[in-house]
Amino acid sequence: MAYMNDFSSKNISSKDSRYRPEIDGLRAFAVIAVIINHFNKEILPGGYLGVDIFFVISGFVITSSLYQRPCKNFKDFISGFYERRVKRLVPALSVFVLITSIAICLFNPYPGTSLLTGLTSLFGLSNLYLLNYSTDYFAQSTELNVFTHTWSLGIEEQFYILFPFLIWFSGFGKQTKNGARNLFLAVGAMTIGSLIGFIYLYPTNQPAAYFLMPSRFWEMATGCLIFLGLQKKKYLKQFLEKVPSLLVLTLIVGVMYLPILWASASTIAIVALSSVLIASFKKQTKAFIFFTNPNIVYIGLISYSLYLWHWGIISISRWTIGIHWWSVPFQIALMFGLAIASYRYIETPLRKQIWFERRWKTLVFAVVSLSITALSIVSIPKTSAKQFLESIGKKLYPYAFTGGTGIPHKDFYCHHPSNIETAFKDCLSTHENNDYSRKIFLIGDSHAANHHWSIQSALHQTNSEYNLGTLIEYGFLFYLLGKDSCSSQKICINNAGNAYKDYFRNNLSDKDYVFISISRDRFSVGQYTGVARKQNIQRTNILRKRLLDILQIIEEKGAYLVLIGDIPKVCPDNINYLQNIIRIGRIDLCETKRSISIEDRKEMNNVFLEIAKSSSNTIYVDPHDELCNGAKCRTVDKNGKLLYSDSSPHFTENNKDILREYWKRVLNKIGISDK
């Protein structure tokens, strides 16, 4: 979040840059919007755009604070700039990161990702770490990383590596005659380039657009440009002051309710509207009176500490008691209490205090302090929570620790066989009851294996004359994804698609069935993960084409194709079954709204539906709602019994045939059984 302005706007002292309390009021509005969004995205879907408002404020305030600031030379200017940076940021951030790191180790049995994010945030690099970690800011997994929000601090710190040099060498810092003009032209050109980069990157590589400073530079630069424009172009100031600030504020709130699909356009709109709002504030107007209310201004003054602590409280709450209507008042009170204490006893006194007579000593002291904090984080015991929680879990839910999942795993030959030709014979051609000539071939990745036990159990309980053969082999999966080969001979072969097609030509008979199930994770990168949209479209087209190739052979043999919709994914990728039971007496940490789960599977399922509608030999079945009852999909069934053993997800050993009744109905409907 944009709290890198070393000067609260209250510290501005030059004659033309007097303190503007409404700016702190706008800070309060921004941080409250972010907090509301982080509590519940439905209440304010675009509340995260409050960060972008802070970026604009930061650029405006830092430029105004450096306007006509006296300095002796470049060394004096640059050392003073970074000294104020350090005193403003380091104390509150260090205390927050250290305390929160200790806290998360008490509840998260695998805190490595959070701790590394916190450690890199101390040095302004957490945005790069999150980018390297392929983080999707809008994904559920980010809610469990207690330091995800520090990405914005990293962006601002990197911005301020560059910005003071622009200030000085443009002449603005030296107060030369054309300094303001030079700065405006330089920053303006960089703003255009940065904005173009943001617009280009967002649909093709969203994490890069979101987490990289160059693609965010334009937002802070816009604040700088609006300040310069208001100082040098009086007519611009007079024009913008005529714009009703209350109308602009209403538009900002409206933008925050736009769909997430419009995130890129919403960001641009928020930056533009925030700039206009800052310029349009005029005394005696309703918006000005609201934003200069002492209580609102105070929230703005503590907004840096409030931003730091709010996410820590919310994230740790998700690891423990959760977020509920009854818990929110206590969580809000706690985050405000910690923020006020941080502002009063850490931020304010240390920012005003002279640390050392010589500035370089302050900078060295800051580096040493950050290094000690980082070493302290690395030294925190990381196994205590895992051991404690596991001991509790084994007592409360022993069936979750049986050591196996419901899928055919290493003791089941037909899961990742080393030899595909032998696997065809042993897994698909050899069947349980040789008196039955009709066959079901179940193929795909481990999510197909999820269905093995339920289908087998359903066949046993019906008068079916079908045998089930299951082969979980990744060569076929890679074929469907557009790859004809892969590096490991153990899990796939060259030209896997041809091998399967040849097998079906030689072994399929009239009224046989080919069941295909693959994980949506392996097919689609998701709507908001930042991978090129065109890549998803290409993968969709390949999946469609190759399924149709398989279908052509199936139709020629008089057989049928059954395409199985994927089961709900309710946990982030970095969560496993142990982390689902860390709430004492509860195992429902992970949950996803039914609407989100359905949207998440849409691209692959649309291909399945399209093929099923185009062919009378194709059937589409979807067990999603069998596992996702009501408004939310959970890791537990209605009786509180653990459904999944990991985040993929795979069924637990106790629930490996959870879909038996569902498959009995399906088999009966499509004519495989008589019941």
What's the rounded Cα separation, in Å, for the pair 580 and 646?
Answer: 9
| 303-322 pLDDT tens trace | 999 999 999 999 988 877 77
Q: Confidence class of residue 135 from pLDDT cuts 50, 70 and 90?
A: low
What's the rounded Cα separation, in Å, for the pair 550 and 514?
Answer: 10
Q: Yes or no: say if 280 and 61 are a contact pair by the CB < 8 Å rule.
A: no
Please give the structure tokens belonging to residue 210.
């979101």
Residue 390 pLDDT exceeds 70: no
| 142-176 pLDDT tens trace | 777 899 999 999 999 999 899 999 999 998 888 88
Which element (helix H / strand E) includes 22? helix 21-39
Residue 269 pLDDT exceeds 80: yes
Which residues are CB-neighbours of 58 under 8 A, at least 6 positions away?
2, 3, 4, 5, 156, 220, 223
What's the rounded Cα separation, in Å, for the pair 147 and 178?
Answer: 42
Any idea which of 264-268, 393-397, 650-654 has the lowest mean pLDDT? 393-397
What's the rounded Cα separation, in Å, for the pair 153 and 174?
Answer: 28
Please give the structure tokens belonging to residue 458.
């359903």
Please give the structure tokens belonging to residue 321.
């008691």
Residue 11 pLDDT exceeds 50: no
What's the rounded Cα separation, in Å, for the pair 43 and 349?
Answer: 37
Please give the structure tokens belonging to residue 600.
């998440």
Which element (helix H / strand E) includes 468? strand 466-472
Which residue in 77, 79, 58, 59 sits closest to 168, CA to CA?
A: 77
| 521-576 pLDDT tens trace | 765 544 434 444 566 677 788 888 989 999 999 999 999 999 999 888 776 554 44
Amino acid at 195: L
Amino acid at 593: K
Residue 617 pLDDT exceeds 60: yes
- Give the per-residue pLDDT at 580: 45
Residue 251 pLDDT exceeds 50: yes
Please give the structure tokens belonging to residue 392.
């509790």
Cis preceding linkage at 214, omega within 30: no
What's the rounded Cα separation, in Å, for the pair 593 and 54?
Answer: 30
Which residue in 485, 493, 494, 547 sits closest to 516, CA to CA?
A: 547
Mean pLDDT of the chain: 82
Amino acid at 241: E
What's the rounded Cα separation, in Å, for the pair 659 and 626?
Answer: 8
- Give the per-residue pLDDT at 604: 86
Which residue in 346, 360, 339 sits closest to 1, CA to CA?
A: 339
| 48-82 pLDDT tens trace | 999 999 999 999 999 988 887 777 788 888 888 88
- Give the per-residue pLDDT at 307: 98
Which residues are CB-neighbours of 206 under 8 A, at least 6 positions away?
136, 528, 529, 530, 531
What's the rounded Cα separation, in Å, for the pair 612 and 593?
Answer: 27
- Give the per-residue pLDDT at 400: 46
- Give the per-residue pLDDT at 222: 96
Give the three-class secondary structure for 442: strand
What's the rounded Cα separation, in Å, for the pair 152 and 129?
Answer: 12
Q: For residue 276, with 0-12 CB atoms within 10 Å meaning exposed, 13-18 middle and 19 or more buried, which class applies?
A: middle
What's the sign of the alpha-carbon dihedral 151, 152, 153, 155?
A: positive
- Give the per-residue pLDDT at 499: 84
Residue 280 pLDDT exceeds 80: yes
What's the rounded Cα separation, in Å, for the pair 107 and 567?
Answer: 28
- Give the per-residue pLDDT at 671: 84
Highest-confidence segment of 99-103, 458-462, 485-489: 99-103
For 511-568, give the secondary structure using H, E and C.
CCEEEEECCHHHHCCCCCCCCCHHHHHHHHHHHHHHHHHHHHHHHHCCCEEEEECCCC
CA distances for 219 relative to 7, 216, 259, 362, angstroms: 19, 6, 21, 30
662 or 644: which leads in pLDDT: 662
- Give the per-residue pLDDT at 337: 97
- Give the per-residue pLDDT at 187: 95
Residue 491 pLDDT exceeds 50: no
Instruction: Tell me if the pTM is above 0.95.
Output: no
| 321-360 pLDDT tens trace | 778 889 999 999 999 999 999 999 999 998 887 777 777 7
Taken in order of first residue, the domains within the chain and their CATH numbers are 9-382 (no CATH), 414-570+595-626 (3.40.50)
What's the rounded Cα separation, in Å, for the pair 638 and 642?
Answer: 10
What's the rounded Cα separation, in Å, for the pair 443 and 436?
Answer: 20
Which residues are CB-neighbours of 329 under 8 A, at least 6 positions away?
none
SS3 helix, strand, coil % of the chain, rounded to 5? 60, 5, 30
Highest-confidence segment of 138-142, 426-430, 663-667: 663-667
What's the rounded Cα separation, in Å, for the pair 226 and 218?
Answer: 12
Residue 408 pLDDT exceeds 60: no
What is the DSSP code string of 320-335? TT---TTTHHHHHHHH
What's the rounded Cα separation, in Å, for the pair 499 and 547?
Answer: 14
590 or 609: which leads in pLDDT: 609
